């Protein structure tokens, strides 16, 4: 396994593989890897085969964090991440710094961003207005550096995956986007690097997201149609029974357009964001 921090060097390897007809599978991450990330690596390997190459990027992207968010505190453990990647059979781990990804930005001389203007307005986009501009910009840059044939994203970040799919289509990136299922802990909590923040009873309280998803599924199975407004109100009460849980949003929407739906029925998608203590967690499911 090679570890590369230079964008030019990473791109050189990718071009050599391309010229030799070698397929490239790519998993972009912000590090602090867990079992969910490793499942994405396995999916990438299956897609490119034993003769293909799998690249994992580890980069905590500053442009997707607002000034009030947890950029400086975001969990990092590169030594552990590299060990996990080596054990998973990754071919290259790309670990660029800010100067590689945003040349000139420290001096105020970086000014090009990628913006998706439709799917990113709701849910995470409404709560974190600058977030998706950072995501689409860094992913577009990584696609140009790694030159993957396939790239794998997790369904836990449903809206992000939808936006990456739209960007890939709209900007004609020759990349197949694969959305892999959410992996969960035994108690239903979606695996996330931010789960590290959940100390003591906060870890138990965090399962309220999974409970909310299950209750919504049960109500939709029980009834042909449920009022979205009524269900939102009921779920807010349920979630905030936990003393340290505060609902940011819960939305019911068309999974293709992300447009909100006034009536919730089978096939509707649900997403929610909840603060548990100071930790903001997200989850989603098809109802």
First to last CA, the chain: 41
| Whether pLDDT at 214 is above 90 | yes
> What's the whole-number mean pLDDT along residues 34-63?
98
Of the pLDDT bands very low, low, confident and very high (cuts 50, 70, 90), residue 224 is confident
Residue 60's pLDDT band (boundaries 50, 70, 90)? Answer: very high
**Among the listed residues 183, 185, 209, 186, the one whose alpha carbon sits nearest the alpha carbon of residue 280:** 209
Distance CA 146, CA 162 (A): 21
Collapsing DSSP to helix, strand or coil, 100 comes out as helix
Check if 269 is active-site. no
270 pLDDT exceeds 90? yes
Which residue has 């990584």 as its token pair?
142
The C-alpha atoms of residue 17 and residue 267 are separated, in whole angstroms, by 41
Please answer whether residues 109 and 101 qualify as being in contact, where contact means their C-beta atoms are separated by less than 8 angstroms: no
**Buried/exposed 45-76: b ≥16 CB within 10 Å, e otherwise:** bebbeeebbbbbbbbbbebbbeeeeeeeebee
Domain boundaries, the chain: 2-180, 193-286
Confidence of residue 76 (pLDDT cuts 50, 70, 90): very high
Which numeric CATH code is attached to 2-180? 3.40.50.620
Best CATH choice for the domain 193-286 from the list 3.20.20.70, 3.30.365.10, 3.40.50.620, 3.30.1300.10? 3.30.1300.10
CB 137 within 8 A of CB 130: no
Q: Residues 160-183: what's their mean pLDDT?
A: 98
Check if the beta carbon of residue 11 is closer than 8 Å to that of residue 168: no
The mean per-residue pLDDT over the stretch 19-26 comes to 98
Catalytic residue among 34, 37, 131, 269, which?
37
Give the position of tokens 């939709």.
220
Which parts of the chain are beta strand (E)? 2-4, 24-29, 53-58, 92-94, 150-154, 176-180, 226-227, 245-253, 263-264, 269-276, 279-286
- Residues 266, 287: contact at Cβ < 8 Å? yes
Task: Supply 184's token pair.
Answer: 């969960």
pLDDT of residue 223: 87
Separation of CA 215 from chain center? 24
């Amino acid at each position: 396994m090679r570890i590369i921090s230079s964008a030019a060097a990473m791109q050189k390897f990718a071009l050599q593989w391309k010229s030799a007809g070698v397929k490239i599978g790519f998993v972009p991450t912000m590090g602090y890897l867990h079992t969910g990330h490793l499942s994405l690596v396995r999916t990438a390997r299956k897609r490119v085969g034993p003769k293909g190459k799998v690249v994992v990027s580890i980069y905590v992207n500053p442009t997707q964090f607002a000034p009030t968010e947890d950029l400086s505190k975001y969990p990092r453990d590169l030594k552990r991440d590299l060990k996990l990647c080596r054990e998973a059979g990754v071919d290259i781990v790309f670990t660029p710094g800010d100067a590689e990804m945003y040349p000139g930005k420290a001096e105020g001389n970086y000014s090009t961003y990628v913006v998706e203007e439709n799917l990113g307005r709701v849910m995470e986009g409404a709560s974190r207005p600058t977030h998706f501009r950072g995501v689409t910009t860094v992913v577009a840059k990584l696609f140009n550096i790694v030159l993957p044939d396939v790239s794998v994203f997790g369904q836990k970040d449903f809206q992000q995956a939808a936006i990456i799919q739209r960007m890939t289509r709209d900007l004609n990136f020759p990349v197949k986007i694969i959305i892999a299922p959410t992996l969960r802990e035994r108690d239903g909590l979606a695996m996330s690097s931010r789960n590290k923040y959940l100390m003591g009873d906060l870890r138990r309280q965090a399962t309220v997201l999974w409970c909310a998803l299950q209750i919504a599924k049960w109500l939709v199975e029980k009834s042909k149609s449920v009022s979205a407004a009524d269900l939102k109100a009921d779920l807010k009460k349920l979630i905030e029974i936990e003393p340290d849980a505060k609902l940011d949003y819960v939305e019911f929407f068309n999974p293709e357009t992300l447009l909100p739906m006034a009536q919730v029925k089978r096939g509707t998608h649900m997403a929610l964001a909840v603060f548990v203590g100071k930790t903001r967690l997200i989850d989603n499911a098809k109802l």
